[in-house]
Structures are given as C-alpha cells and as structure tokens.
Chains A and B, each alone.
Chain A
C-alpha cells in the first residue's frame, strides 16, 4: 500500500515550493507517488494571459524547463525515496463566472497541452496523448478561492470523458461526488507545506507510473485523511514525527457504500 497525491503545485505556477522542495516534502514522509500539476492557463482569454504574464501558470516557454526539472527530480525521488513522480498539468479555464470555470488535471503528460477549447475536447486530447484526465475540485471547495462548477454541471454528458473526479480537495470531502457513481480520486491541491494535512489517495500497486495510472483508471484505490504533524501545529501531539503517516479515519470505514456503487 502506498499513499499518493495527484494534485500538487510548485513555483512554476502559484505554488510556494520549488519542485525539489515538493519532492523532499513528500519523499521524507514516505509517500509512494505524487503528481506535480502546475496550472496552464488559456492563451486567448484576458485572465489566462494575465496569469501567464504574472508567472502564475505554465506557458509554452516555461514548459520545457518544467518537464526537464520534473524528469530529473523524478530520478532523484526514486533514488532517495523510492517515490514515483508523475508529470502533470492542471488545465485551468477561468472565467468571471464560476459556472463557466473548469480545471482539468492531465497526468502522465509528455508534451505541452493547451487549455483552450471545450472541456470535452480537452479531455479527449489528454487521452489521445496517452495521459489520464481528472476533473479537479468540480464542486464547492469550501475555500476562499475561484470555484469551478462547469464540469459538475455537465457531469452526465462528461461522465465518461474523465478517468476520475476529485472526491476531496485539501481537507474537504465532497459529498456530491462521493455519493455519485463517478470514478473518484482524492488529492490535496497543495500550494504550501501546510496543505499536507488533507485527503490523499491510497493505492495498492507496483511503484511504477503506468501501474499507478492504471490503478486510477480501474479505480483500485481508496482515500485517507492524512494529518501532517510537522506542518500542522494544532495536531502536533497526535504523531511523534512527520514520519507518522496516516490517521485512522478513512473513506472506506466512513463511507462503506462507495465500493458497492463502484461495483
């Protein structure tokens, strides 16, 4: 069994940690796999362009460096921690309206992917490139941030277009997604070290990118709430060190009907 987090940001977009710092953060805590998923904004909208100019998202120009650093850090993560690092992006369609905004995670990418166009086409492109697509925080995330409801509003039409839908983001579990029959995944949407205390995905597969992505597609996974003692002072008494990984509360015990719905 290994803990995994498939939604993590770095300084290549709006995260506060560099990629090497992210790798060390997860590696030192014994995680088995992470995906670094920095934002890619739309190239034709004012919001997307502004985000690019402000360095809040990846651009065609910064992407080659991003991919190279991910490659070298994946090697380092494996060498030091036996942890798999999967290259990803979060294709971010941001509009003034939350109902027109959508974030789509692509995992296992090999080249730059555009956030332009309709979400169904984007999801199709992701699969055509051999990557997998995840609907990121499709419902109210409960945080003071941009909300993205577009995918959820089109969930019946897009149900098959995505390999997984985030059932949790950060420390918040989404009952709407949980109670649906959609394929699921839980991630932290980590931007700062403190976000380590959040829902994670638990996998039981070989520590290899293909095996990990296959487990997501086949939904051979469960979710755990991870409480990080080093970056969470409030709960520092629960664990003696940050090597203590998983709190006992898990989705499986709390929401036993989920396996049935999957079947």
Chain B
C-alpha cells in the first residue's frame, strides 16, 4: 500500500510537470471559428464583475457571450445586465428562462442560452473563472483537429481567503492538478465544467445538453459521451484560474463531500482505493513498514516522508503561483490530514448540498431530488 501511494504520487508529479509538446502552435492567418460562450450565473461569486469582465476583450475575432440566470431576483442578474449595458460593442445577451429538465440546476439554467447560441462551437465557462486575453485561441486551437470532440482545462485556485478558501486553493493546486493531468495522460478524461469547449453538432449526437440534466456531474458525463462517440477529450496546456474568494471551513467540507460523492457514484472502484493514495495514510504505512524492517523511529520516518511528499508537490504548487513557504506547508498538511476523514464521511451517505438544494445521488451519478 505504501509503495502504491508513493509510486502514484511520483508518477503524478512527473506527469503534471512534463512539458507539453509544442505541436499546437497557431499558424499565421488561420480562420478562427466563431464561439458562443455560455455563462451560467448563480449568486454573486467573489469578484463576479471582474471575472465576467475578463471575457469582454478577448483576443479572438468573433465570439458572443450568453449570460443566463434562473430568476430575476438572482443578484447576478443585475451584474450581468450592467456589464451588457456598459459594453454595447460586445455581442452579449442575458437570458432568464428557467426550465426544469432534471435535478441539475446548472443545466436547467443554461439550456435556453445553449439553444440560442448562434455558433456551432460552444464554450461553457463558470462565473468564477478569470481568463487572459489569449484564452479562446489557446483552447480553440485543439478543435481544429477533427478527432477532438471536447477541450477542458485544469483549474488553478487563486485568491483563496479564509481557512476554507486556503484549503481549497492548496487542494486545486496540488492534489487536483496532479490527478487531472494523470487521468488525462492515461486516457481517462475527467472534464471540468468550468471550462468546456465542444461543438453543438457533436453534442446533438448524444441528445444535447438536455440529457445531462439528470446527472450531478454533467461535465464528467459530457466527456464520457464524447468519448463514446469515438472522439478525443483533450486537456488544454494552460490552466484556467478560478477565483476562490472567502470560504468557511464548512464550505470547503461540503464542497468536497459533493465532489467525493460524485466520484463514489461514478467511479466506485477508483473511490475504494483512494485512501491508499492519500499522503498521510501512505506515509503511515511507510513508517510502520520501515520500523518493522529497519527498526527506525516511526514518528521521525512519518514526518520525513510527509516532508518529502510536500517537496514533490512544490513544483506543481509553484507552477500555479503558490509560494512554497511555511504557511503553505501547514495548509497543505492540514488539507492532506483531512483527506481520510473526508473520505469516511463521503463513504457513508448519498446526499449532496448544491446551490441550496438537497439532492440524492444514485449509481452512475444520476440525481434525484432528496
């Protein structure tokens, strides 16, 4: 168990740091296909206006912005309205047309916007991401390959405040980034709905996004459907920054319960072996093993392994803009120590809290309202 955890960690570190081949350079004078950007909004995320504003002057010849909210009372409605009014030069629309196709509130929120999208190339982008000018070119270049059906991105966590926010940032920039790249490298795509580019014509082949309203992880299922069509799901080389903002510890905990229960529901066998891959568990078994064969001090060997484990995570953290100081180590260690208690909590239960709703998960990620 010890060696499995260590091997996977080393492999993940190598894969996440492996430089991408520069075969996807943009040739000059190429045609950039128009893109419809869907922005499903719910409440005022941290820095919402700034986040949305980064989509106003992207370096891309033709794109439209489609903001969608579930109700006029949603505070995000006024923010999006203000942005559209202030920027008449941008092709943008605000759509308030709630539908109820299934228990997934995000899909319900964006279905009408999706239907109104004028372009075949559609990008679903969450409200809490902030992008740079070249973002659309960076991700759309992959779609020139006809074998590619979807492009997603690794999310890096920035501006995490409060204990929950800091834990979330360290999680996204270490464990999550490593695993995402590892899974893609081994042909097991795990799509993230925060940045998901695909063709409407391709999605129509699996019933459009409407069919995804019955799943909690609509992004993961979309990726699976694309794969079932024989198309590739690729991971863009550049991460997309997510503004985490202020999060309480409870927010962090509930969010990870939700993520974990999705994993349990959709990839149960992988979920079962997760504890072996947690640093604290792996290092504990390593300490016991080394004490047995070398009669070493288990406390010392445990702490030494934890430190090595952290040092292996440092390059991934630095790549995401995290300074590897003492505070980062303490937050990292706290996050790692919470992994197993979280797993236990996830294992016993099938309900999740999402956007104010209590939802029950069935096998395979199917949702029913609890």
Contacts and interface: CB of A to CB of B under 8 A. Distances in A.
Nearest to A68: B207
Contacts of B321: none
Interface in A1-31: 10-12, 18-21
Interface bracket on A? 20 to 34
A18 B363 CA distance: 23
A72 B204 contact: yes
Contact of A61 (B206, B207, B366): B366
State the main secondary structure of chain A at its contact with B: helix
A130 interface: no
A64 interface: yes
Interface string A31-55: 0000000000000000000001110
B268 A53 contact: yes
Contact of B363 (A60, A69, A72): A60
B202 to A, nearest CB: 10
Contacts of B224: 62, 65
Contact of A65 (B204, B228, B230): B228
A52 B364 CA distance: 9
A20 B214 CA distance: 24
B276 to A, nearest CB: 17
Contacts of B215: 61
B269 A53 contact: yes
A21 B231 CA distance: 11
B221 interface: yes
B265 to A, nearest CB: 8
State the main secondary structure of chain B at its contact with A: helix
B228 A64 contact: no
Given A53-B268, A64-B207, A72-B205, A59 B364 contact: yes
Given A61-B215, A64-B207, A68-B211, A52 B229 contact: no
Interface in B181-238: 204-207, 211, 214-215, 221, 224-225, 227-230
Interface in B103-144: none
B49 interface: no
Nearest to A59: B364
B5 interface: no
A61 B229 contact: no
Interface bracket on B? 20 to 34
Given A61-B215, A69-B205, A69-B228, A52 B363 contact: yes
Contacts of A61: 215, 266, 362-366
A52 B206 CA distance: 20
Nearest to A12: B228
A42 B69 CA distance: 41
B16 to A, nearest CB: 25
Given A18-B228, A18-B229, A20-B229, A65 B365 contact: no
B311 to A, nearest CB: 35
A246 to B, nearest CB: 28
Contacts of A69: 205-207, 225, 228-229
Nearest to B271: A53
B211 A65 contact: yes
Contacts of B225: 65, 69
Contacts of B214: 64
Interface in A60-110: 60-62, 64-66, 68-69, 71-73
B124 to A, nearest CB: 18
A2 to B, nearest CB: 25
Contacts of A65: 206-207, 211, 221, 224-225, 228
Contacts of B228: 10-12, 18-19, 65-66, 69
A42 to B, nearest CB: 13
Contacts of A72: 204-207
A73 B268 CA distance: 30
A52 B363 CA distance: 9
Nearest to B210: A68
A226 B268 CA distance: 41
A60 B207 contact: no
A72 B204 CA distance: 8
Given A12-B228, A60-B362, 19 more contacts: A10-B228, A20-B229, A53-B269, A59-B363, A59-B364, A61-B215, A61-B366, A62-B224, A62-B364, A64-B214, A65-B211, A65-B228, A68-B207, A68-B211, A69-B205, A69-B207, A72-B205, A72-B207, A73-B205
10 contacts: A18-B228, A18-B229, A53-B268, A61-B363, A61-B365, A61-B366, A65-B206, A68-B207, A72-B206, A73-B205
